[in-house]
A and B are shown apart, each in its own frame.
Chain A
């Protein structure tokens, strides 16, 4: 126990990076995902196919493979990324695919009459999308996006393999230093659990808040 208390600041720093990576990747993932979803629903054939192939590749390959391709693979082409940058890029691209599926489902759950009503008042397709459809779709998208977010929080542990000292790697470093496993792995387990529970709680609140109309 003393060992853990002594190393709490170190673990907290790891937790900070875990959160940072989650939030940054989620932010860019949301943008990528929204664009991909719109491309799949409203794009021409070319854009639709690009988006479809993107989603298919990302969902069909392990995130660990995606991470090592971005960090180690790109070096072969002279692109050397810092570990943290590589983590952001790999995870944003990864999460974008899942977000796009969540958005696509949500956009399609908005009744067709909404688009028609907007068009009938003289809006363009784009205006109808931006003003009428997307604001409603976001409400439908919150539950699946929340799951994606919490999933991402846990998935960040994978970037420990490219030497990003987030929570997982912090524990590994401590294990290497003290030669004891359980206390450290157990503590980070509890920390992951705490963070997941906290965000799930927040998301439930958001969901309730948005469903007032």
Chain B
């Protein structure tokens, strides 16, 4: 489903991603872990074009982002990819001026041009799925962080994506609210959604993902099954990282 070839990303002279090549088949749940500043989020954001790549190619569902393509062409592919990809952010980024249900309906109305009643039905079903039927008419500021993030997931799902990108979805949450968000993500994984999750939740990565990408300094240091990665990390860098996160 995703093919990445020799992907480079620079900020000015600073190389954030260095020569990434990998492929991700449909229905795989990939957890991207690693120390902060290793390029995990940037990697994720390149996939739906929120970051402009410097070199290489990313193909999502047959739409190819080629660093060498013209601006217009790039815009077109990125637009196509975003139609088929949902994204969930660390800071939720719900629209504060819209109610919960309006947040979910927005893209259906603006992008898919659905009639309001139909969008409302879809949004309502999705909110039920994430357990927030009773919050439809609340504003984001009136609900908890965990609930906000579940709304954000519903909003991303509204476009019926074939791929979901999660950028540290639980990092901004109070500890007691993390579980409800992970639960929704787990359900999604079990339904067969293709997911790429940048996360610091090691247990979740271990139990829900079927593949771990361990990144450090802009490269993928290890690419393994969760069990293998957590029990027998191959590189010193990964061993050190796992040791640090398991301390205390």
Q: Give me the interface of A with B, judged by CB distance under 8 Å.
A: 111, 113-114, 116-124, 127, 131-132, 135-136, 139, 213
A121 & B107 in contact (Cβ 8 Å cutoff): yes
Within 8 A of A (CB), among B76-112: 79, 82-83, 85-87, 89, 91, 93-97, 106-107, 110-111
CA distance A98 to B155 in the complex (A): 37
Q: How far is the CA of A119 from the CA of B83 in the complex (A)?
A: 10
What distance in Å separates the Cβ of A42 from its nearest Cβ neighbour in chain B?
14
Given A122-B107, A131-B110, answer yes or no on A117-B89 (Cβ-Cβ < 8 Å).
yes
Name 16 A/B residue pairs within 8 A (Cβ), A-sorted.
A111-B91, A113-B89, A114-B95, A116-B50, A117-B94, A119-B82, A120-B50, A120-B82, A120-B86, A122-B79, A122-B82, A123-B110, A127-B110, A132-B95, A136-B96, A213-B139
| Chain A residues positioned under 8 Å from B48 (CB to CB) | 120
The answer to whether B97 and A121 have CB atoms under 8 Å apart is: no
Q: Which residues of A contact B86 (CB under 8 A)?
A: 120-121
**CA–CA, A124 and B94, complex, Å:** 17
Given contacts A131-B106, A213-B141, contact A119 B96 (CB under 8 A): no
- A45 vs chain B, min Cβ distance (A): 15
| CB atoms of B87 and A120 under 8 A apart | yes
* B residues less than 8 Å from A131 (CB atoms): 106, 110
Q: Chain A residues with Cβ under 8 A from B89's Cβ?
A: 113, 116-117, 120
Our pick among B91, B106, B158 for the contact of A113 (Cβ within 8 Å) is B91
Is there an interface contact between B97 and A122, defined as CB atoms closer than 8 Å?
no
Does B64 lie at the interface of the complex (its beta carbon under 8 Å from any beta carbon of A)?
A: no
Q: Is the CB of B79 within 8 A of A139?
A: no
Assess whether B110 is in contact with A113, with CB atoms less than 8 Å apart: no
CB distance from B155 to the nearest CB of A (A): 7
Q: Are B110 and A139 in contact (CB under 8 A)?
A: no
A213 nearest in chain B by CB position: B139
Q: What CA separation (Å) do A213 and B87 show in the bound complex?
A: 24
CB neighbours (8 Å) of B85 from chain A are 120
Q: Report whether B82 and A121 are in contact in the complex, using a CB–CB cutoff of 8 Å.
A: yes
Interface size on B, residues (CB 8 A): 27
**Residues A121 and B155 in contact in the complex (CB < 8 Å), given A127-B111, A131-B106, A131-B110:** yes
Residues 150-188 (chain B) with a chain A CB within 8 angstroms:
152, 155-156, 158-159
Q: Judging by beta carbons under 8 Å apart, are B96 and A121 in contact?
A: no
Bound-state CA distance A135–B96 (Å) is 10
Contacts of B111 in A (CB 8 A): 121-123, 127
Q: Are A121 and B139 in contact (CB under 8 A)?
A: no
Q: Known contacts A114-B95, A117-B87; can you find 15 more A-B pairs with CB under 8 A?
A: A111-B93, A113-B93, A116-B50, A116-B93, A117-B152, A117-B155, A120-B82, A120-B87, A120-B156, A121-B158, A121-B159, A122-B111, A122-B159, A124-B79, A127-B111
Cα of A60 to Cα of B231 in the assembled complex, Å: 68
Give, as a whole number of angstroms, the nearest-CB distance from A202 to chain B: 21
Interface centre among A111, A122, A131 (most CB of B within 10 A): A122
Q: A122–B111 Cα gap in the complex (Å)?
A: 6
Closest-by-CB residue of B relative to A139 is B97
Q: How far is the CA of A117 from the CA of B111 in the complex (A)?
A: 13
Neighbouring B residues of A114 by C-beta, 8 Å: 93, 95
Closest to B103 in A: A117
Complex CA–CA separation, A123 to B93 (angstroms): 15
Name the CB-closest residue of B to A128. B110
